[in-house]
Structure 1
Amino acid sequence: MTPLQRYIAEEIATDHADGLLSRREAMRRLALLGLGTAAATALIAACGDNKKPAPAGPPTTPTTTTTDSAPPPGMENAIQPAPITWDDGKMQGSWAAATEPRGAVLVIHENKGLNDWVRSVVGRLGGTGYSALGIDLLSAQGGTAAFKDPAEATAALGKTPPDQFVNDLRSGLDELARRAPGAKLAVVGFCFGGGLTWQLLAAGEPRLAVAVPFYGPLPDPHDFSGSKQAAVLAFYGAKDERVTSSKDAAAAALEQAGMVHQMVVEPAADHAFFNDTGPRYNGTAAADAWKQLQSWLEKYLA
């Protein structure tokens, strides 16, 4: 298994351990990813064993923060992105052109592909003055829309060679630069896309002025010296031990490369806290992250 494939498998097993997937559904998704019954069973058991036990005392009822019922941050200015293709139709994406662009952002989706939620992020960035391109990393398989079963889309991403992702992302930056000539370039990735943000930095991408991985797994090796001009803002959730445990190693690598960086751990937030369509959405953390993202873009991209 590639590191990203293992990350996806562990995410499926963790979702089961957190009660978000039935065992049967978790086993089905792991099978689509290529794991046999024995390996899938062992992974589910390991992820369950790694969960921290609940604190002693009477059970508590989770509270909903006041912003959880509010619109997702940035929606008040969001614009409607348009579907586009490039590279002779080989690549697909979603494009939101800012009226007076102050920079351009490549948005990398989660392991579910380029869905409506990712398109909403593209539209929100466009509405705040940053032309944005959401890339579909399933373009070679006909695009995310070609998969009726989201689990099959996830499995297809897991089976894609890592080098292809880097090549596709660089193609996305080419198209972004073509559509926003003269603008500084940034990349923002979520979950699986956060991991690819780190991977793009490790591959050495000199065009990036800003990189923002949201709770993305750290690749190994993680030498970022080839992308040292990028200012990195990395987000983590305090409850997301699986990914947040790599924060210090990421910070050390950024420090070693001499890169401007800030590591943000949102308290009481879990993995995927920014996705308002998911079960781990945290409105307070999402609002804070959006505010800090806008400040970072204003400082290093605009």
Structure 2
Amino acid sequence: MKAVLTMTMIAAAGLPAATAAGEAVTYSAEGREFEGYLAKADNPKGAVVLIHDWDGLNEYEKSRADQLAALGYSTFAVDIYGKGVRPTTMEGNKAETAKLYGDRPMMVKLLEASVAEAQKQGLKSAVVIGYCFGGAAALELAAAQPEGVVGYGTFHAGLGQLKDTDFAAAKAPVRLWHGGADASAPLTALAVVGDKLNAAGTPWRATIYGGARHTFTVPGTKDYVEADDKDSWAQFQAFLAEVFK
């Protein structure tokens, strides 16, 4: 099933298969062990740090990392749950995200440690992206503005979780790709985040896909929209080219 999902994603995004598979990378943070996934490009044009959805680092994120490496962007898909922590139920997903949403300073520490590991692996300057929960986490990291991160991107991010986030320090450009009918993060939540980014003077841009619901970029889900997946992926590539020109 995982292999089928990977090939489906590559075909849906209109990309060639990656020429080389990535590898697991074990690292430590805050006294715990984590396991990320590193996909290196042969002749890198830039780098990406990818934050997983609420079910933890799995084949979806690894496939995206492989796709980016095939496009010339070395990618480190991070793990902020812990090695071996991969929830398989809705209750498990909620429990893991609740731990991090309930302790934002710890979330940021784990994200910063993951970025530091990416830099240790040779990804010195990177764009950070995230999907769903990972999108909200990426924006929490943007608010901390760590060294070496030159941009942020989110796909159907959990924007409703950011109403209390202070973006005053967020200076790197932000791009958001969002479903106009996302019940998990309605347009009112996007407006709140946009107002905060405006107040901070953060350069940002959002693309809203009318009628698209949550997980519109994830093949095999009921909310998947191939046209919007392809369009957001193409826009993301343009953003990478702009940042790393």
In the other structure, the counterpart of 1:84 is: 25
1:269 to 1:159, Cα distance in 2 relative to 1, 3 A: same
In the other structure, the counterpart of 1:280 is: 223
Percent of aligned pairs with the same amino acid: 25
Q: Are residues 1:96 and 2:36 paired?
A: no
State the 1:157 CA deviation.
3.1
Q: Are residues 1:210 and 2:117 paired?
A: no
State the 1:212 CA deviation.
0.4
In the other structure, the counterpart of 2:84 is: 143
Structure number with greater Rg is 1
1:69 to 1:204, Cα distance in 2 relative to 1, 3 A: closer
In the other structure, the counterpart of 2:107 is: 165
Matches within 5 A, 1:1-302: 71-73=11-13, 75-78=15-18, 79-87=20-28, 90-139=33-82, 142-145=83-86, 147=87, 149=89, 151-160=91-100, 161-180=103-122, 183-218=124-159, 219-228=162-171, 230-243=172-185, 244-302=187-245
Which is helix-richer, 1 or 2?
1
Aligned equivalents of 2:84 and 2:50: distance in 1?
16
Aligned equivalents of 2:180 and 2:153: distance in 1?
17
State the 1:136 CA deviation.
1.5
State the 1:202 CA deviation.
2.0
Q: List per-residue Cα deviations over 1:46-89 (Å, max 9, x = no partner).
A: xxxxxxxxxxxxxxxxxxxxxx9982215414342211112388
Q: Calculate the aligned-residue CA RMSD, in Å.
A: 2.3
What secondary structure is seen at the aligned counterpart in 2 of 1:133?
A: strand
Instruction: Show structure 2 runs of 5+ residues with no match.
Output: 1-7
Aligned equivalents of 1:69 and 1:190: distance in 2?
15
What secondary structure is seen at the aligned counterpart in 2 of 1:285?
A: helix
- Aligned residue-pair number: 230
The answer as to whether partners of 2:217 and 2:228 remain within 8 angstroms in 1 is: yes
1:74 to 1:167, Cα distance in 2 relative to 1, 3 A: farther
State the 1:166 CA deviation.
1.1
Aligned equivalents of 1:94 and 1:236: distance in 2?
25
1:114 to 1:232, Cα distance in 2 relative to 1, 3 A: same
The answer as to whether partners of 2:9 and 2:63 remain within 8 angstroms in 1 is: no
Aligned equivalents of 2:164 and 2:91: distance in 1?
29
What secondary structure is seen at the aligned counterpart in 2 of 1:297?
A: helix
Aligned equivalents of 1:299 and 1:180: distance in 2?
21
1:150 to 1:239, Cα distance in 2 relative to 1, 3 A: closer
Instruction: Show structure 1 runs of 5+ residues with no match.
Output: 1-67
Which is strand-richer, 1 or 2?
2
Q: List per-residue Cα deviations over 1:153-212 (Å, max 9, x = no partner).
A: 44233234332221111011101112225x421110011111111111223334321100
Aligned equivalents of 1:150 and 1:74: distance in 2?
31
